[in-house]
């Protein structure tokens, strides 16, 4: 076995593999004429202080594609900011030349439960295990993408006989960077401050066009274009049997995490999937420890009860898992003292030798080169395991397809039925299209049927569970019940890692019937929907206006787009009748104009086209001037708000806390929107826990807060007629004693008639880690136009409002409140009865201005569509003068 290496990092890996008797990728004459990573980048990947950017990474892989028959680089989509996303297929030359046929085999094994046995055996004989690796979706976690060139080079140049066999059995589908936009943001930031005292500082803002770290929370809603690309690969195009997403974690715990995950796990996923993750994880921890890589842990911290991450593929029968490496400061090394090493508690109670970390790391220097060494070793182990179990993994994939289809035929529920008659038909349309985007088959009823005395009408949509992706269907269509597990019998509950509710019908306000009786009559009446579903009627040649019902979210999108296009828009102040159609109060009349066809083309649900608009009471709709407050502290909720506003064509200007001092809000804006953010970050530019402040790791020019003096000017904005919209923690800015300065020596102190009692309730046992709660809405109020009388909202337990009788020039109205009982709709909470009859949303007036405060996020991760209209109505809220509140 001949070793040729061009950097000490890989030499160390090879030596440790050799001593352990494990064969890593080895190169010899196959490397002739192929440029090494060091030759291409001008430094060894992993070198202290050195990072390459996305363009440089892709340039290198394109060079390998041009000279090596073992690598094929394919474009698969674009990032939110327009960069091309690629897959690098790495395998034997024969497999690379046969990708189309191997893709067909993948598809058949994944989706066809009825393959004749001889044909199935032939597919398994001829198939290859496809391992999909997504690297560095969280762009501050630079290691996986920085390791990609060396991994690719090693595999395409090796002559090691064992590795050649692996490459013949496996196709590695490497996404060299899941988040190209963020990678360049991080690298540019690091380079900007390199050599200064702020080298390795946190990048200000989010490392994504919109959502930053939350890109790994979007794999159910599929709102972001890069998320769609990755999900499409494993759901509809390539159907890999194995998927690993590569991450980094904190610096002072274990050096590396591999599967299996910690409890709780999803109860809808087949046991075989979990067992296979144990196989891969056990081999990784064994191989890496044998190579002398200390601090590898498993069954620690990370759980798998909730979909939303890239691992949502697990619910689609993929053996999916993640790895996590301890971080450095991008490319700047850190020194960890032994007393600084600690663990969080899920799976490891002490930083000691244990079954979940049999070989702890002792502390010391930790470098990017160390991360790359661990990344290379874990990837090699995954490929080896996939190769050694090629036939079993391929057979398992089709066995699981058969098993899930059979379960859908023999175990309730059998169908989810979505009536065509919905309060918001546009959300029904979007839900059907989203399910199809996930690879789920959706049908409609061709003739009305009756099941157990319930009539389901012609046109109603049906999602049968007798499908290969049955676990996913059930998971996202049912109401969530958190799988409560304890550390010891009757002991402490294992707390959720993230949110506990994601029910698509609930979150979108779509009625859905879970049917537990199988019906042959229904199944014979089903017709499959095409790839795109719309409820569109023919636009007439001539008409006066199009009327958009206030009940539909899409109507608001139409209105904001119409105003952007210069069309005239009015809003009904009373319900109106057009011919035989009753249109609710708050609906919109968009008058025909030169760009009307462009507007109608964007719609998925047809408006009502009318020839006459006389005799209706309306008000003119205009777009207000909106300031959207976004901190530099990786402000994901503000990013989600920007995404929602862009999606709905709502114009806005981002305002940073440091900008406030130089803005005359009275002259410049009508509305200031404060998404969920810590009050201390907004006001002081510091994080605060209890009474202790934490200094941010951002360069100081990004840590300025609003400050009390400038906040006083914001109160003048309200008093002069401005509107504040705020939710979550940011609403606390407007609680307590507030001041208005109207002159040099004139000052008015006041308190708005609302206070936050969430801390008191928390001490009494209230816990809401992220669940869906019922809220009762005030009827016939400008803020609830188009809304049903009750909805679900995404709630995290803070704030919780109570109101009081107003004085002087103030007023208040409770817009939404939690009911007295039956509050929890989906997810997990403790002692939720504490919020019974408490205020969830409040409108207030101060002087000529208005405030709309939410205890919940009305646009949480762009996945709580049912509450969007509360935000849209807040934006369109009329002024105080002449209002009857």
Listed residue (746, 747, 729) closest to 737, CA to CA: 747
Partner residues linked to 445 by β-bridges: 526
- Please state the separation of Cα 263 from the chain's center in Å: 21
**Sign of the Cα pseudo-torsion (348, 351, 352, 356, in order):** positive
Mutual angle of helices 99-111 and 390-410, in 10-degree steps: 40
For residue 3, give every residue at least 6 positions away whose Cβ sits within 8 Å of its Cβ, in sequence order, or none.
11, 14, 18, 26
Q: How far apart are the first and last CA of the chain?
A: 83
Q: What is the pLDDT of residue 5?
A: 32
Distances, alpha carbon 677 to alpha carbons 680, 690, 757, 862, in Å: 9, 16, 18, 17
Q: At which residue do the structure tokens 């609830």 appear?
A: 784
Mutual angle of helices 425-437 and 225-232, in 10-degree steps: 50
What are the E-state strand segments in 163-288? 170-175, 242-249, 256-258, 262-265
Give the separation between CA 778 and CA 812, rounded to whole angstroms.
13
Q: What is the pLDDT of residue 67?
A: 97
Q: What is the pLDDT of residue 94?
A: 98
For residue 676, give every residue at least 6 positions away whose Cβ sits within 8 Å of its Cβ, in sequence order, or none.
637, 727, 728, 729, 730, 857
Low-confidence ranges of the chain (pLDDT < 70): 1-29, 881-885
pLDDT tens digits along 494-541:
999 999 999 999 999 999 999 999 999 999 999 999 889 999 999 999
The whole-model pTM stands at: 0.96
Distances, alpha carbon 613 to alpha carbons 432, 607, 684, 787, in Å: 33, 14, 52, 24
3-state secondary structure of 69: coil
Give the separation between CA 761 and CA 317, rounded to whole angstroms.
41
pLDDT tens digits along 587-618:
999 999 999 999 999 999 999 999 999 899 99
Q: At which residue do the structure tokens 């090629």 appear?
A: 390
Q: What is the pLDDT of residue 689?
A: 84
Secondary structure, 3-state, 574-617: CCEEECCEEECCCCEEEECCCCHHHHHHCCCECCEEECCCCCCC
Determine phi and psi for 380, rounding to 5 degrees. Answer: -60, -40
3-state secondary structure of 793: strand
Q: What is the pLDDT of residue 28?
A: 53
For residue 800, give every residue at least 6 positions away whose Cβ sits within 8 Å of its Cβ, in sequence order, or none.
756, 757, 758, 761, 766, 835, 838, 839, 855
Give the separation between CA 338 and CA 336, rounded to whole angstroms.
6
- DSSP string across 604-654: SB--EEES--TT--EEE--PPPEEEE--TTT-HHHHHHHHHHHHTT---EE
- CA 349, 350, 352 angle in degrees (round to 5)? 135
Give the separation between CA 764 and CA 800, rounded to whole angstroms.
13
Q: What is the pLDDT of residue 13?
A: 44
Q: What is the pLDDT of residue 743?
A: 72
Q: What is the pLDDT of residue 136?
A: 98
Partner residues linked to 849 by β-bridges: 846
């Amino acid at each position: 076995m001949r070793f040729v290496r061009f950097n000490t990092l890989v030499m160390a890996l090879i030596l440790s593999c050799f001593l352990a008797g494990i064969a890593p990728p080895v190169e010899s004459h196959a490397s002739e004429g192929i440029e090494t990573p060091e030759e291409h980048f001008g430094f060894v990947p992993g070198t202290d202080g050195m990072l390459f950017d996305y363009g440089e990474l892709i340039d290198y892989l394109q060079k390998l594609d041009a000279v090596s028959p073992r690598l094929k680089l394919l474009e698969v989509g674009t990032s939110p900011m327009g960069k091309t996303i690629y897959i690098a297929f790495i395998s034997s030359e024969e497999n690379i030349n046969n990708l189309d046929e191997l893709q067909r085999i993948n598809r058949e094994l994944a989706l066809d439960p009825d393959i004749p046995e001889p044909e199935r055996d032939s597919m398994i004989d001829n198939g290859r295990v496809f391992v999909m690796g997504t690297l560095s979706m969280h762009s501050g976690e630079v290691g996986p993408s920085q390791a990609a060139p060396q991994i690719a080079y090693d595999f395409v140049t090796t002559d090691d006989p064992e590795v050649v066999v692996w490459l013949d059995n496996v196709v590695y589908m490497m996404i060299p960077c899941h988040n190209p936009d963020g990678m360049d943001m991080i690298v540019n930031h690091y380079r900007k401050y390199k050599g200064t005292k702020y080298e390795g500082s946190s990048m200000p803002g989010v490392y994504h066009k919109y959502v930053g770290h939350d890109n790994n929370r979007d794999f159910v809603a599929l709102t972001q274009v890069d998320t769609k690309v990755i999900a499409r690969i494993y759901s509809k195009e390539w159907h890999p049997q194995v998927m690993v997403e590569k991450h980094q974690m904190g610096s002072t715990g274990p050096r590396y995490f591999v599967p299996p995950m910690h409890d709780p796990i999803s109860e809808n996923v087949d046991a075989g999937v979990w067992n296979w993750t144990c196989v891969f994880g056990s081999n990784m921890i064994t191989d890496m420890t044998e190579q002398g890589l200390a601090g590898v842990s498993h069954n620690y911290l990370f759980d798998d009860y909730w979909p939303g991450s890239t691992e949502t593929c697990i619910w689609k029968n993929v053996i999916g898992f993640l790895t996590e490496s301890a971080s450095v400061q991008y490319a700047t090394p850190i020194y960890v003292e032994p007393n600084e090493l600690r663990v969080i508690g899920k799976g490891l109670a002490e930083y000691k030798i244990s079954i979940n970390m049999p070989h702890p790391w002792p502390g010391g220097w930790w470098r990017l080169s160390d991360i790359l060494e661990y990344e290379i070793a874990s990837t090699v182990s995954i490929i080896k395991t996939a190769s050694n179990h090629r036939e079993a993994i391929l057979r398992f994939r089709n066995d699981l397809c058969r098993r899930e289809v059979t379960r859908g035929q023999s175990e309730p529920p059998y169908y989810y039925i979505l009536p065509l008659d919905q309060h918001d038909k546009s959300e029904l349309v979007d839900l059907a299209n989203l399910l199809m985007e996930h690879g789920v088959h959706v049908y409609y009823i061709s003739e009305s049927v009756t099941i157990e005395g319930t009539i389901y009408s012609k046109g109603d949509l049906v999602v049968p569970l007798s499908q290969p992706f049955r676990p996913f269907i059930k998971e996202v269509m049912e109401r969530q019940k958190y799988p409560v597990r304890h550390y010891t019998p009757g002991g402490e509950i294992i707390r959720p890692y993230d949110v506990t509710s994601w029910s698509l019908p609930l979150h979108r306000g779509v009625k859905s019937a879970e049917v537990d009786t199988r019906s042959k009559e229904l199944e014979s009446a089903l017709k499959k929907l095409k790839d795109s579903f719309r409820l569109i009627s023919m636009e007439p040649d001539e008409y006066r206006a199009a009327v958009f019902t206030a009940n539909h979210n899409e109507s608001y999108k139409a209105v904001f787009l119409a105003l952007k296009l210069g069309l005239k828009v009015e809003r009904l102040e009373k319900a109106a009748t057009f011919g035989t159609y009753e249109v609710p109060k708050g609906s919109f009349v968009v008058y025909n104009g030169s760009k009307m066809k462009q507007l109608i083309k964007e719609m998925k649900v047809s408006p009502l086209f009318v020839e006459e608009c006389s005799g209706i009471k309306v008000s003119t709709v205009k777009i207000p001037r909106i300031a959207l407050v976004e901190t530099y502290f990786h402000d994901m909720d503000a990013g989600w708000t920007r995404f929602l506003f862009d999606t709905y064509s709502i114009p806005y200007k981002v305002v940073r806390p440091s900008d406030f001092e130089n803005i005359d809000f009275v002259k410049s804006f009508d509305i200031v929107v404060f998404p969920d953010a810590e009050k201390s970050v907004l006001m002081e530019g510091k994080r605060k826990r209890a009474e202790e402040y934490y200094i941010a790791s951002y360069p100081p020019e990004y840590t300025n807060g609003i400050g009390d003096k400038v906040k006083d000017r914001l109160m003048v904005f309200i008093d002069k007629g401005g509107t504040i919209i705020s939710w979550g923690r940011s609403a606390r800015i407007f609680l307590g004693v507030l001041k208005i300065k109207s002159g040099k020596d004139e000052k008015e102190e006041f308190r708005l008639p609302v206070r936050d009692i969430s801390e008191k309730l928390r001490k009494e046992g209230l816990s809401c880690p992220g669940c869906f709660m019922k809220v009762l809405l005030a009827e016939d109020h400008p803020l609830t136009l188009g809304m049903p009388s009750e909805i679900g909202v995404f709630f995290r337990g803070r704030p919780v409002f109570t109101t009081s009788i107003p004085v002087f020039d103030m007023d208040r109205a409770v817009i939404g409140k939690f009911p007295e009982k039956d509050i929890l709709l989906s997810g997990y909470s403790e002692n939720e009865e504490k919020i019974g009859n408490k205020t969830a949303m409040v409108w207030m007036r101060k002087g000529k201005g208005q405030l709309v405060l939410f205890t919940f996020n009305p646009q949480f991760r762009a996945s709580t569509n049912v509450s969007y209209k509360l935000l849209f109505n807040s934006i369109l809220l009329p002024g105080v003068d002449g209002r009857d509140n």
